[in-house]
Structure 1
């Protein structure tokens, strides 16, 4: 009896412990004042098996006073596999010097590498840039908590890389040596193209099946040498080889059993018109509803679900026959901002699940004459 109770407690503990699906954060500088104080708005998303877990970010450097603008809201995957939560906070700072935010705890969902603890780092740069005469804005992106691919199908996962300042955006795997993660992950079947921020998956071995922790960072680099000026007058230079800011992108890649065919449109859903192209830039105005129609085809499977990651108040509707719509009405708070929306269509055959390619768009609110990447 005692042994049974102990085993049950261990199962409950392990079930609770293996719950993390990833995190990402971006930021927007806001007001600057004559006395040198400034403010920054931080957008972050946390992904878990259930949305009952709490979060806590630690801050070092110019931390200031934090205010919660949007409490954690959630978007669930319909089968209950994951839940993504979004929050927005603001920090009022006495100067424009940098700050670093860290999200660290445990434990990742059960994965091939046996990684438990996580660590994600955001480096926020707010000093005045000489090229644009204002503070830096981080690259804007988002990601789903889990992406799926059959082990016998090559897949290029093209991340959204939009930078409001027009900087060069690059991606790389997070480094434990740089304290960007607890344990660096090496997956022989997964590589990254730094310049395009594209993940390349290629395998033909059934042994590659399982869940993999993907820990990345996205950084923006100036197109020419620039000077950053801090409150008080001190300056530093950034060359084209120096990252201005760093944001974390962490999620799970689920490598499934082989698909009967890797041809898009059969088991793996294929996007059809009028679905926007990947990395398309869309524009809308404050209080004007944006409608995105997404159409797909999978002749040998049932396209049953649209999975997406975007602003907290995006609404999803099914239009039937593999077609869906996403609608979003931005508020005054989003005026002048650019917000990413990423999505996949998921199809099923019995218990097998197949996903389309990842597509992402960037929605700019207000003026359409923004910098394009």
Structure 2
């Protein structure tokens, strides 16, 4: 075993030591008996010495991360550009870490980083979230793995220290779409709060551009959700059950979002090599990490009193909004809290999204997508925060913004002419009472001189249909969702 002096010199020199604990198993009947090797003892000494050397408040400042990816251009030599968008949150905007490609697991696929841009999303008194936009040029449309492990969580009740996150970026061509796989799109507020006496569901955003099924799983080492009052479901709902005051504190949540095809497909590399994927096979996985703060009790759990609530025309959770390149999208958010004062809106979205607000709990988020974001889907999440003697948060709401550009999302030669006709086979009547919320079904016939994909209908036809419905008297914040397409 290395002497303590040698190990201490490594710490003093600033070395970062990563060793895996090795376990030996000895079978005893139907149960296993765990016996440690010498390697584990060395690891423990290293962690103790280095932890003592670099301990303190500066180390424990991490609030979470999330990463998504979008395949871009494929070149004549088979190489491909992929854009990875990640967010990291710390106690200060001066702290940051960068996602790295794992050369150990995919050395020939990492390619090179051609561009990295990092900007602040929002800076609050508690945390600062920044967005990194990384462009990598990879040698082929294969897969690569990315990881992040050089930060330490804020002090927390489930005893998580050094963080770890990883992702699988699979760029192979899908047989069902004819395109490279795209990851689920999501984001998160770094710190969510809930009173200990109030049950709450955090319905996380889980949007997949390829219409895959998205599931959430807990990062299992360490087990970040071993507490009985925090549970996550397959459909990405994090449930908090009211608990006693002895469980108040900060809890780290580390999840994976994984996408699964709705039918059996094949994935093809540029060389022609194919691999089959069933509906139970993971296509890609992305990390979603944040903290939940269980605060003291509140006199009433009814939303709109101490806990802020959202009022119309605030978009519904998981709503899909549409905008065009170069056009500014406005998201109006109204809140109410009769026993407290709504002081701020916390949000997570594109770094160039702007927030404006008033003392009456009314806020507007504005964002203008650029040409490079054409065809992408961008997640935005927000909570309203109120202050009195304590700090209270509203429910979590998230939306997805789909970006299109009518001059580039068509074929290069012909711009489709789209005509929208309400079918006369059955009378359609949509009534609207100001301030009310509800849903109605609408059948439309779409004719086009060139073929239309579902993506074309979502990004081109639905915005046109919405414009027409608004002209006829419906509110500007109506949400249109494509349910089914039937070719005739």
Structure 1-normalised TM-score?
Answer: 0.92
| Corresponding residue to 2:365 among 310, 323, 326 | 326
Structure 1 contact 143–251 (Cα < 8 Å) conserved: yes
For the pair 1:356 / 2:398, whether they are aligned, the reply is no
TM-fit CA distance, 1:13: 4.5
| Corresponding residue to 1:50 among 85, 92, 96 | 92
The superposition leaves residues 197-235 of structure 1 with CA deviations (integer Å, 9 ceiling, x where unpaired) of: 100100231111000000000011000111001121111
Gaps of 5+ in 2: 1-51, 406-455, 460-481, 484-488
| Corresponding residue to 1:14 among 56, 60, 69 | 56
**Matches for 1:1-373 after TM superposition, within 5 Å:** 13-60=55-102, 61=106, 62-77=109-124, 80-176=125-221, 184-194=224-234, 196-350=235-389, 352-366=390-404, 369-370=457-458
The superposition leaves residues 225-251 of structure 1 with CA deviations (integer Å, 9 ceiling, x where unpaired) of: 110011211111111111100000000
TM-fit CA distance, 1:17: 1.1
TM-fit CA distance, 1:184: 4.3
SS in 1 for 2:198: coil
Q: Which has the higher strand share?
A: 1
TM-fit CA distance, 1:95: 0.9
The superposition leaves residues 100-135 of structure 1 with CA deviations (integer Å, 9 ceiling, x where unpaired) of: 000002310000022111100110000010000110
- Taking a change above 3 Å as real, the CA distance of residues 35 and 324 of structure 1, as seen in their structure-2 partners, is same
> In 2, distance between residues paired with 1:370 and 1:339?
14
Structure 1 contact 227–235 (Cα < 8 Å) conserved: yes
TM-fit CA distance, 1:12: 9.6
TM-fit CA distance, 1:187: 1.8
> In 2, distance between residues paired with 1:221 and 1:272?
35
Q: Which moved more, 1:29-38 or 1:224-233?
A: 29-38
SS in 1 for 2:58: helix
Q: Which moved more, 1:252-261 or 1:318-327?
A: 318-327
Gaps of 5+ in 1: 1-9, 177-181
Partner of 1:179: none
The superposition leaves residues 328-348 of structure 1 with CA deviations (integer Å, 9 ceiling, x where unpaired) of: 111111111110110000011
Q: Give the greater-gyration-radius structure (CA).
A: 2
The superposition leaves residues 274-306 of structure 1 with CA deviations (integer Å, 9 ceiling, x where unpaired) of: 100011111111111111110011110001110
How many aligned residue pairs are there?
355
Q: Which moved more, 1:124-133 or 1:62-71?
A: 62-71
> In 1, distance between residues paired with 2:89 and 2:379?
17
SS in 2 for 1:188: coil
Structure 1 contact 319–325 (Cα < 8 Å) conserved: no
> In 1, distance between residues paired with 2:82 and 2:257?
19
Structure 2-normalised TM-score?
Answer: 0.71
Partner of 1:5: none
Q: How large is the Cα RMSD of the aligned pairs?
A: 1.7
TM-fit CA distance, 1:356: 0.4
